[in-house]
């Protein structure tokens, strides 16, 4: 894919305003700006990652970057819209996302989430939520937990980072759906078992018939 937005001489005027001192607030400002650009251009998208957790009322503040899910077939058009708004877009070695920088914060445009392509159905389940003062589509709480849980593997199993998210969003999550979509893999299944043992979620109801006492 050709990205014609690289090599821009200077950032757009709105990026030259004084940045928030707090990095979490700067990430939120970046998410708001990119979300507004995508909304104006009419793209299908949904906010993901730590800013989505924040939008759902999760504890803590965004610390790393802003993530957006977009359809794979829309990647070129999304890159063009961001370029027209003054953002440089680049393709990293990973073939499942695009990257840009807004207010000196990294922004990822993801078209494959936890090794699964972003789909129309995924984006249709998104909820319209405020991110500070800007309303935008945000991945459902269930899809947020599915994406975080599905990412666990033998090489990435930091349960401690996702545990606070599960605690904060547990009332909004369809845990039976999370189990159905994740529990076939050992690391996601282990995390769900940990949540049960910590009384974050109720144990899965057994479907086996009870044995009658003689």
Residue 28 neighbours by CB under 8 Å, 6+ apart: 51, 54, 62, 66, 131, 132
**Token pair for residue 138?**
């945000």
Q: Which residues pair with 100 in a beta bridge?
A: 89, 107
Question: Could you tell me how far CA 200 lies from the centroid of its own chain?
Answer: 22
Kindly report, residue by residue over 102-132, the tens digit of the pLDDT. 999 999 999 998 888 999 999 999 999 999 8
Q: Is the pTM above the cut of 0.75?
A: yes
Quick check: 13 pLDDT over 90? no
Q: What DSSP designation does 117 have?
A: E
Q: How far apart are CA 119 and CA 116, in angstroms?
A: 9
105-110/66-70 β-pairing: parallel
Quick check: 7 pLDDT over 90? no
Whether the CB-CB separation of 105 and 65 falls below 8 Å is answered with yes
Q: How far apart are CA 149 and CA 151, in angstroms?
A: 5
**Token pair for residue 28?**
């939120």
**Token pair for residue 47?**
């906010």
**Token pair for residue 96?**
């499942």
Kindly report, residue by residue over 169-186, the tens digit of the pLDDT. 999 999 999 999 998 899
């Amino acid at each position: 894919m050709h990205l014609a937005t690289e090599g821009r001489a200077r950032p757009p005027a709105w990026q030259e305003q004084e940045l928030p001192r707090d990095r979490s607030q700067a990430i939120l400002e970046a998410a708001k700006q990119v979300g507004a650009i995508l909304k104006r251009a009419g793209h299908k998208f949904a906010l993901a990652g730590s800013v989505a957790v924040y939008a759902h009322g999760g504890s803590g503040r965004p610390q790393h970057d802003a993530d957006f899910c977009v359809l794979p077939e829309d990647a070129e058009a999304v890159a063009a819209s961001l370029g027209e708004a003054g953002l440089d877009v680049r393709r990293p070695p990973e073939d499942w996302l695009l990257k840009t920088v807004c207010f000196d914060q990294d922004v990822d445009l993801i078209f494959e989430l936890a090794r699964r392509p972003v789909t129309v159905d995924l984006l249709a389940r998104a909820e319209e939520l405020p991110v500070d003062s800007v309303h935008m589509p945000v991945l459902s709480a269930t899809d947020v937990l599915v994406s975080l849980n599905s990412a666990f593997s033998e090489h990435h199993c930091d349960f401690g980072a996702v545990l606070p998210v599960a605690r904060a969003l547990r009332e909004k999550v369809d845990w039976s759906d999370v189990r159905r979509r994740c529990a076939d893999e050992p690391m996601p299944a282990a995390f769900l078992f940990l949540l049960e043992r910590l009384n974050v979620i109720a144990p899965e109801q057994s479907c086996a018939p009870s044995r009658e006492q003689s």
